[in-house]
């Protein structure tokens, strides 16, 4: 092949390679190819033996060593009825025909290359449509406010596999305002992700009390290059343990903050219906938790949260013993995914999660 030229003319590199030598040179590339194959099988939740046909794509797959490796991995001969150099172009033409409505006899399913979600309290990414979901797809979840009298929420639409919002790609932002002032956790904001067959993502946020709604349309949400998608997935895998610990720490602190709020509401609602001894006990444990909530580690917070939760149960017991209904500030703090779903239009809706949507107050703070 031609490699350069000088005043005397073109210079070519000529050397003889045996098949064995060439296969030895590209062996690591062949092995690397199967890393992507294994990842695809894992994401699809299928085993190699469950694949019906293996289509070879690209000129390199003409090499006997590649075909041999494919046969060894899948346990069957790859399909050789299509020119490997033309496969991508043929597939693109068929997909174009399907999307244009000209081809109706073929069903080609596309998937989301990365997870789609929103930013929630503490900078955590909350997923709605997970990676490799077949499109078109739609998902709705109900979130709530993070502060008393919060009248607007900011929706930060994210794409990626990392647990923290800042480590993912922001696709767009919008604000839903006009939420009636209410205690934290009371408003219900219905967030819907709807992605069509063309990869166009429509995100809406609707206040269920007033019916006010804001929307954003994001084109090309599935248009990431294969290299970019693989890079983001690898980064997520490399930082998985670090991200998990960081997310767990933030969630524990969020739960502690919610527990403090619940305890204060319970004491206020109980009034003189509980004994001074019970009130003093709860106030002491509440003070202990508040004093360390900003600085303590997850391991230090959990014991203080447990003792406060136990103390709060005494308030409920005291009020029930007097024949009264327990206050709405029920002491038990449940994980965000364990609150029962609500039903609407025959479909289960996800629960309202207190303090989950990132707030934007009237002064522009978050």
Of 62-71, 170-179, 277-286, 295-304, give the lowest mean pLDDT range. Answer: 295-304
Q: Is the pLDDT of residue 357 over 80?
A: no
Q: Which one is predicted more confidently, 124 or 324?
A: 124
Q: Is the pLDDT of residue 55 over 60?
A: yes
Non-local (6+) Cβ contacts of 55 within 8 A are: 78, 79, 82, 87
Q: How large is the average pLDDT for residues 107-133?
A: 88
Non-local (6+) Cβ contacts of 6 within 8 A are: none
Residue 177 tokens read as 């305002």
pLDDT confidence tier of residue 224, bands split at 50, 70 and 90? low
Residue (of 226, 238, 234, 239) closest to 111 by Cα position: 226
Q: What is the pLDDT, as a whole number, of residue 323?
A: 60
Q: What is the pLDDT, as a whole number, of residue 108?
A: 66
**Domain segments of the chain as ranges:** 18-99, 111-238, 242-321
Question: What is the per-residue pLDDT across 225-267, written as a single tens digit (0 to 9) for each?
Answer: 777 777 888 888 888 888 888 888 888 888 888 888 888 888 8
Q: How large is the average pLDDT for residues 309-316?
A: 84
| Angle between helix 64-74 and helix 19-44 axes, rounded to 10 deg | 30
Q: What is the pLDDT, as a whole number, of residue 205?
A: 95
Q: Which one is predicted more confidently, 327 or 125?
A: 125
Please report, for residues 65, 158, 179, 347, 364, the alpha-carbon distance to residue 121 in angstroms, rounded to integers and kept in the order given. Answer: 52, 14, 18, 26, 16
Please report, for residues 228, 261, 273, 283, the alpha-carbon distance to residue 268 in angstroms, rounded to integers and kept in the order given. Answer: 53, 11, 10, 11
The residue length of the chain stands at 366
Non-local (6+) Cβ contacts of 349 within 8 A are: 140, 141, 142, 190, 341, 342, 343
Q: What is the pLDDT, as a whole number, of residue 360?
A: 45
Q: Which one is predicted more confidently, 366 or 315?
A: 315
Check: CB of residue 51 under 8 Å from CB of residue 74. Answer: yes
Q: What is the pLDDT, as a whole number, of residue 303?
A: 87
Check: CB of residue 154 under 8 Å from CB of residue 203. Answer: no
Q: What is the pLDDT, as a whole number, of residue 233?
A: 81
Domain 18-99 has CATH 3.30.420.40: yes
| Angle between helix 240-270 and helix 276-292 axes, rounded to 10 deg | 150
Q: Is the pLDDT of residue 364 over 80?
A: no
Q: Rounded CA gap, 56 and 336, in Å? A: 45
Check: CB of residue 130 under 8 Å from CB of residue 137. Answer: no
Q: What is the pLDDT, as a whole number, of residue 329?
A: 46
What DSSP character marks residue 136? S
DSSP-based helix, strand, coil % in the chain, nearest 5: 40, 20, 40
Helices (DSSP H) in the chain: which residue ranges? 19-44, 64-74, 87-99, 226-238, 240-270, 276-292, 298-321
Residue (of 97, 92, 115) closest to 222 by Cα position: 115
HSE-CB at 243 with a 13 A cutoff on CA atoms is 18
Of 1.10.10.10, 3.40.50.300, 1.10.760.10, 1.20.1270.10, the CATH number of 242-321 is 1.20.1270.10
Degrees to nearest 5, angle at CA 268 with 267 and 273:
70
- Mean pLDDT score of the chain: 81
Number of other CB atoms surrounding residue 255 within 10 Å: 19
Q: What is the pLDDT, as a whole number, of residue 140?
A: 95
Q: Is the pLDDT of residue 361 over 50?
A: no
Of 1-5, 45-49, 80-84, give the lowest mean pLDDT range. Answer: 1-5
Residue 241 tokens read as 């343990």
User: What is the percent of the chain where pLDDT is above 70?
Assistant: 85
- pTM of the predicted protein model: 0.58
* 3-class DSSP assignment, residue 175: strand
pLDDT confidence tier of residue 348, bands split at 50, 70 and 90? very low
Residue 149 tokens read as 């009298």
Give bridge partners of residue 201 from the DSSP assignment.
Answer: 195, 218
The superfamily in CATH containing domain 111-238 is: Substrate Binding Domain Of DNAk; Chain A, domain 1 (2.60.34.10)
Please report, for residues 23, 48, 203, the alpha-carbon distance to residue 67 in angstroms, rounded to integers and kept in the order given. Answer: 12, 15, 44
Give all strands of the β-sheet with 124-129 in edge-to-edge order: 124-129, 116-120, 152-159, 169-177
Q: What is the pLDDT, as a whole number, of residue 355?
A: 41
Q: Is the pLDDT of residue 107 over 70?
A: no
């Amino acid at each position: 092949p031609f490699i350069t030229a000088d005043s005397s003319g073109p210079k070519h590199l000529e050397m003889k390679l045996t098949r064995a030598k060439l296969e030895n040179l590209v062996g690591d590339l062949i092995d690397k190819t199967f890393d992507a194959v294994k990842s695809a099988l894992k994401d699809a939740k299928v085993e190699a033996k469950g694949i019906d046909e293996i289509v070879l794509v690209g000129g390199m797959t003409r090499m006997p060593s590649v075909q041999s490796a494919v046969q060894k991995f899948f346990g069957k001969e790859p399909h050789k009825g299509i020119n490997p150099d033309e496969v991508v172009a043929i597939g693109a033409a068929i997909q174009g025909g399907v999307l244009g409505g000209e081809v109706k006899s073929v069903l080609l399913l596309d998937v989301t290359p990365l997870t789609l979600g929103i930013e929630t309290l503490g900078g955590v990414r909350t997923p709605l449509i997970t990676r490799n979901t077949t499109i078109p797809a739609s998902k709705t979840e109900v979130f709530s406010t993070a502060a008393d009298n919060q009248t607007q929420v900011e929706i930060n639409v994210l794409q990626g596999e990392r647990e923290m919002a800042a480590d993912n790609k922001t696709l767009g932002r919008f604000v839903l305002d006009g939420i009636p002032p209410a205690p934290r956790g009371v408003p219900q904001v219905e967030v819907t992700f709807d992605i069509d067959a063309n990869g166009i993502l429509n995100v809406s946020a609707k206040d269920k009390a007033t019916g006010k709604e804001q929307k954003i349309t994001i084109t090309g949400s599935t248009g990431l290059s294969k290299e970019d998608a693989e890079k983001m997935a690898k980064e997520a895998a490399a930082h998985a343990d670090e991200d998990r610990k960081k997310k767990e720490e933030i969630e524990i602190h969020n739960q502690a903050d919610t527990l403090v709020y619940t305890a204060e509401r319970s004491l206020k609602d109980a009034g003189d219906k509980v004994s001074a001894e019970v009130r003093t006990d709860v106030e002491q444990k509440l003070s202990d938790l508040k004093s360390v909530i900003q600085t303590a580690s997850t391991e230090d917070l959990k014991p203080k949260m447990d003792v406060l939760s136990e103390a709060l149960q005494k308030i409920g017991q005291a009020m029930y013993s007097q024949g009264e209904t327990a206050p709405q500030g029920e002491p038990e703090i449940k994980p965000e995914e364990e609150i029962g779903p609500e039903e609407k239009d025959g479909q289960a809706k996800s629960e309202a999660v207190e303090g989950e949507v990132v707030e934007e107050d009237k002064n522009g703070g978050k």
